Amino acid sequence: MSKSESDAAQTAAAADDEPDEWDKRIFSTGCADENMKMTDCYFEKKDWRQCVAEMADFKKCWQQHGNDQRTSTKDS
C-alpha cells in the first residue's frame, strides 16, 4: 500500500467513527439501542417474523419517547 493509499484509509476510518445524519436521527429518537437490536436480529435471521420481540421493544420505546407525534405515525 502506498503512502497516499494509507493516508486515505486512515482518513476514511476516522470519518467512519463520526456519526452520520442517519445515526444522529436515530440517536435523537432515544431508541438507538432498540433500533440496533432490531436491525441486528434481522441481519442474523433474514426474516422479520423472527424479530417480533425486538420490533415490539422498538415500538414501545418509540411511543414512550413521543416519536409518534414527531413523525406523524399512525397505528393500524
Query: What predicted TM-score, i.e. pTM, was given to this entire model?
Result: 0.67
Residue 58's contacts (CB-CB under 8 Å, 6 or more residues apart) are 31, 34, 35, 37, 38
What is the number of structural domains in the chain? 1
| pLDDT tens figures, 31-68 | 999 999 999 999 999 999 999 999 999 999 999 998 88
Residue 12 lies in a domain: no
Measured CA to CA in angstroms, residue 72 lies from 26, 29, 33, 57, 63 at distances of 16, 14, 22, 19, 12
Residue 19 lies in a domain: no
**What's the pLDDT score for residue 19?**
81
Domain that holds residue 53: 31-70
